[in-house]
Chain A
């Protein structure tokens, strides 16, 4: 066979293989979504998303865990976003790559690979017991914040690295100090990328069960958390409870799938908001 035919055959085969793999991943995702929608859509109603759970979780809605999850996201991001972005700014703009920076970077990478249940136990020991925050929205939110930190730091660092050096040069050449340059030029330019990192983290934070089950999420709460020291219900933990702790499976199973759909919709909704916000920022830049 001539070399040309061989090359063409190899090109076609690799194209086919790539398309095949792409189709396979899309199919897996589609299958999961279709299955969840099929099982859960029957449970969705206005009552389901606006009512508190009743009758030992066999009736009523899930507004309490929805609100709890939103509150957890807010608390975790209020902690992780400023800390993560500041850390990334330190790594990328201030550190000179010495031993301390290398150790800190290693620590951040390691934090990313800590199993979430271990993080949950850390949260219990540190936030709940040592800092006396108890099993609360605050403890659970901070634990989730720790979970989000490594992703947020890495994403922010990448975004900062992508800011062209020419922008910094221009600012310094005009007599800008380092902080002025970071605050007025580098951070605004990196912001769309940082937001992307934030969106990824919110999805992760919203869906985690292990870090919150010891630190603040409860089986049942009679109403919304009114202070950061109240414990909360949360969607992923609620799903876990419905799936494992019920005795009336005929009644809880549809609710369980409905809750899963709501959680997915919430995460997707937040991602959409983030993506739109990012697109707007990009356009303004």
Chain B
């Protein structure tokens, strides 16, 4: 088993001063080069937790976060951390495909250009490699200058994955990446997720337990802001220790 890539320690988060905590005392490891799935019913805090890992919750004005989130041992909430560099290292794919209203090529090139890539041949190479890794190269190679919106929903989501890996992140966070896709497109993205762990550490939020079972090595079950249980996926889905986990995965609530 690999080392922990990210670690959270007693993470509390609330959306405003008076709101009840959205996350309560979450302590867990996310292992390198593996897929960690976060499951739980709507509003359980799994997406909130994911967004703490690359500080996307910074945009919530009154959010309060205590506890620690470590990336390779470095506290990502410490004042000397450069948030933009953190987000480059910890990439994110969102629930609904959100390509920019640019061409396919420009979407993938966006991140590298932010980081200062200017040489067109270098950018071309990054675009090709990223699209290959996202399994979109064969479909997109002849239409790189077409608008990203001309792709189907599933292709758009794979484009968003290509865009995310074009900046060579170390961790890839995926927030219900298939919830807006049809079953065939979902299967392709899941296959991709399993391939991505070779090069990246993947954390994926899903409302679909079968998906968690299919793609992940480790599963974490959240309920009402608490991390109820986490461990190897096959253990969680066959012999959970907590009664609530068992009730959820057997479909007694959710």
- Interface residue from A96, A169, A285 paired with B56 (Cβ < 8 Å): A169
Q: Which residues of chain B in 20-68 are interfacial with respect to chain A, using CB atoms and an 8 Å cutoff?
A: 54, 56, 59, 61
Q: Which residues of chain A in 109-165 are interfacial with respect to chain B, using CB atoms and an 8 Å cutoff?
A: 164
Interface footprint category on B: 20 to 34
| Given A180-B114, A185-B100, A173:B84 Cβ within 8 A | no
Query: Majority SS of interface residues in chain A?
Result: helix
| Given A174-B88, A174-B110, A167:B98 Cβ within 8 A | yes
Interface size on A, residues (CB 8 A): 19
Give the CA-CA distance A167 to B98 in the complex, in Å: 6
Give the CA-CA distance A184 to B163 in the complex, in Å: 15
Please tell me if B167 contacts chain A, counting CB pairs below 8 Å.
yes
Please tell me if B134 contacts chain A, counting CB pairs below 8 Å.
no
Q: Which residues of chain B in 102-131 are interfacial with respect to chain A, using CB atoms and an 8 Å cutoff?
A: 102, 110-111, 114-115
Q: Are A189 and B110 in contact (CB under 8 A)?
A: no
B: residues with CB less than 8 A from A are 54, 56, 59, 61, 84-88, 91-92, 94, 96, 98-102, 110-111, 114-115, 147, 160, 163-164, 167
Can you name the residue of chain A whose Cβ is closest to the Cβ of B54? A173
| Given A170-B98, A285-B101, A175:B87 Cβ within 8 A | yes
Please tell me if A176 contacts chain B, counting CB pairs below 8 Å.
yes
| Residues of A contacting B56 in the complex (Cβ-Cβ under 8 angstroms) | 169, 172-173
Q: Which residues of chain A in 173-203 are interfacial with respect to chain B, using CB atoms and an 8 Å cutoff?
A: 173-177, 180, 184-185, 188-189
Q: Are B163 and A175 in contact (CB under 8 A)?
A: no
Q: Are A175 and B115 in contact (CB under 8 A)?
A: yes
| Residues of A contacting B115 in the complex (Cβ-Cβ under 8 angstroms) | 175
Q: Are B160 and A170 in contact (CB under 8 A)?
A: yes
- Interface residue from B61, B114, B160 paired with A176 (Cβ < 8 Å): B114
Q: Are B167 and A175 in contact (CB under 8 A)?
A: yes
16 A-B pairs (CB sep. < 8 Å)? A96-B61, A169-B56, A170-B100, A170-B163, A173-B87, A173-B92, A174-B111, A174-B163, A174-B167, A175-B87, A175-B88, A175-B115, A180-B114, A184-B110, A184-B114, A185-B100
